[in-house]
Structure 1
């Protein structure tokens, strides 16, 4: 197994463990928990994680368990790419390797309970940040 694959697998396990202990963890689509009593600003229901592994910056948002499709953006050989995970045609997670723009866009899309069509995600000429809904 390549060092990149080993780092990715290890980070995924860590993210799964960390998200299972989160007091605000909820199923996708469920309303997030408020920050504090009386606050109207919700916490994200989307778990996220990052890790620096030498020259590799790994960023994860969402949980990919149960995915049935994955779209790669970029070239894994370049060590700058992202993997977008789908379940039943709906975006559920991203693993970004040295691709912070993809990560931030998808994280915000997931936090807004949005999705990115598979064919759009596969087109690297599309900047994912253009698909992020405007904040209210």
Structure 2
């Protein structure tokens, strides 16, 4: 008997939280990034929906971004193939998290599928995360 099997390859990666969906007091998902070679935060993907407990934890660790946030003026879409804008709150890009990601990436190096939040990485600073595209 012949057939084929599809396997999703996942790995864990570290990323910087640059924005959230939902209110800052109860974030619903994380918008993640990594620094490029020039030290500028590049968008790499979004997390799956956070549990209420995780949202409460993040609420105590995130704060509103300054006007100099690298994503100021950007718009994010709600999903692939749609132009519907996603309402986001920019945060200070200081918090590093570990996420599980599918190794599939788009042409810009962003994760094609939502990342699954695993844990907060208080032992890392943003400049200790892998560079964008890594």
TM-score interval (norm. to shorter): under 0.3
Query: When you count strand as a share of all residues, which structure comes out higher?
Result: 2
Query: When you count helix as a share of all residues, which structure comes out higher?
Result: 1
TM-score (ref. length: structure 1): 0.25
TM-score (ref. length: structure 2): 0.25
